[in-house]
Amino acid sequence: MTTPQALPDAHGATAPSGRRPDAPAPGPATDDVIVDVRNAHYGIPTRQIFKGLDIKVRKGRITAIMGPSGTGKTTLLRLITGQISPSQGNVVVWGHDLSTLDRSGIYALRKRMGMLFQNGALLTDLDVYENVAFPLREHTDLPEELIRTLVLTKLHAVGLRGAAYLMPSELSGGMARRVALARAIVMDPEVLIYDEPFAGLDPISMGVILRLIRQMNEGLGLTSIVVSHDVQELATIAHDSYLMYDGKVVASGTPKELASSGLEVVKQFMTGSDDGPVAFHYPAPDYKQELLKGDE
């Protein structure tokens, strides 16, 4: 466990080293691991979601978190971003145990992250331009001219400079996600987190998002965490993969290593088989008996 440190509140430009001037000093060296989830347990009143989860995200790599629906992939992102705390175990980000940080400390870390939500989560009372400018206006005192340049640059990067003055309600799902991506990178984060970036997208939009994730990671030198269950898409971009099942990581490695795994649950997930360890049917009483009970 690391010692809590005072974290500054102000926000500045990215330092040449890649770390912001106001960013907390890194904790004890953990080689190039940026996010380290150690033996995390977490539950809600109705069930235990994590039963000892271990995940490491390394700098500069695209890490895919995969797993069947309901395994807690989005909950894991909430753990990593400090929205919730594990009941047992630790979540260490840039050497800081999140449980030891106060609200301002968590906020200081979040300024170094960008997150793309499944539905975009654009602010509906602001247009596209203002949505992308929002973090800049909140955290910097940059002149309007510079804000305009930054916003248009980011919108151009996602191909939506021409949509700058549309309202979120006028965007398609894929466009909304690209705007959200522009907003997520406008503060030049070091880590980008994607929550189900491909869900509900047509093949063209999916291809665009895939390309953008790869470009952001390589071009901007980011570290990416992608939560999804789209195996084929992730296999084309991910450097490291984790497969979650029943509250734990059941397999990890490169997408190729996962594809050649002998574990039943991994095979079922990678091939999309409808029955296996992940049962098609939700636990229920005997089918015949339940139907006959109705006749009685």
Partner 1 sequence: MSAIAKADNLVIGGLRKVGQVTLFLVSVLAQCGPALARPRLVVHQVYNAGARSLIIIMLSGLFVGMVLALTGIDLLARFGSEDVLGVAAALGLLKELGPVVTALLFAGRAGTSLTSEIGLMRATDQLTAMEMMAVDPMRYVAAPRFIGGIIAMPLLVAIFDIVGLFGAQLVGVQMMNVNAGTFWSQTQGAVHLDDVTEGIIKSLAFGFVCTLIAVYEGYNAAPTAEGVGLATTRTVVASAVLTLIVDYFLTAAFL
- Minimum Å distance from CB 80 to partner 1? 11
135 binds partner 1 (CB under 8 A): yes
193: β partners: 115, 225
Please tell me the distance from the alpha carbon of residue 89 to that of residue 83, in angstroms, as a whole number: 15
- Minimum Å distance from CB 198 to partner 1? 17
CB nearer to partner 1: pick between 31 and 138: 138
Residues counted in the chain: 296
Alpha-carbon distances of 259 from 62, 183, 196, 264, 267, rounded to whole Å: 17, 34, 20, 11, 7
10 binds partner 1 (CB under 8 A): no
CA 26 distance to own-chain centroid: 21
- Minimum Å distance from CB 75 to partner 1? 13
Q: Report the site for partner 1 in 77-116 (rule: CB under 8 A).
A: 81, 83, 107-108, 110-111, 113, 115
- Minimum Å distance from CB 145 to partner 1? 20
- Minimum Å distance from CB 111 to partner 1? 5
Q: How many residues bind partner 1 (CB under 8 A)?
A: 23
Question: Which of 138, 141, 145, 275 forms a contact with partner 1 (CB under 8 A)?
Answer: 138
Site string for partner 1, 166-195 (x = CB under 8 A): --------------x--x---x--------
3-class state of residue 226 by DSSP: strand
Ranges of beta strands (E only) in the chain are 33-44, 47-58, 62-66, 88-93, 96-97, 113-116, 191-195, 223-227, 240-245, 248-253
212 binds partner 1 (CB under 8 A): no
CB nearer to partner 1: pick between 1 and 123: 123
- Minimum Å distance from CB 115 to partner 1? 5
Q: For residue 8, with 0-12 CB atoms within 10 Å meaning exposed, 13-18 middle and 19 or more buried, which class applies?
A: middle
Least Cα distance to 33 among 66, 61, 53 occurs for: 61
What is the Cβ-side half-sphere exposure of residue 176, based on CA atoms within 13 angstroms? Answer: 20
Question: Which of 23, 122, 234, 251 forms a contact with partner 1 (CB under 8 A)?
Answer: 122
175: left (phi over 0), alpha (psi -120 to 50) or beta: alpha
CB nearer to partner 1: pick between 174 and 189: 189
3-class state of residue 249 by DSSP: strand
- Minimum Å distance from CB 121 to partner 1? 4
Pair of tokens at residue 169: 């309600």
121 binds partner 1 (CB under 8 A): yes
What is the binding site for partner 1 (CB under 8 A)?
A: 11, 81, 83, 107-108, 110-111, 113, 115, 117-119, 121-124, 134-135, 138-139, 180, 183, 187
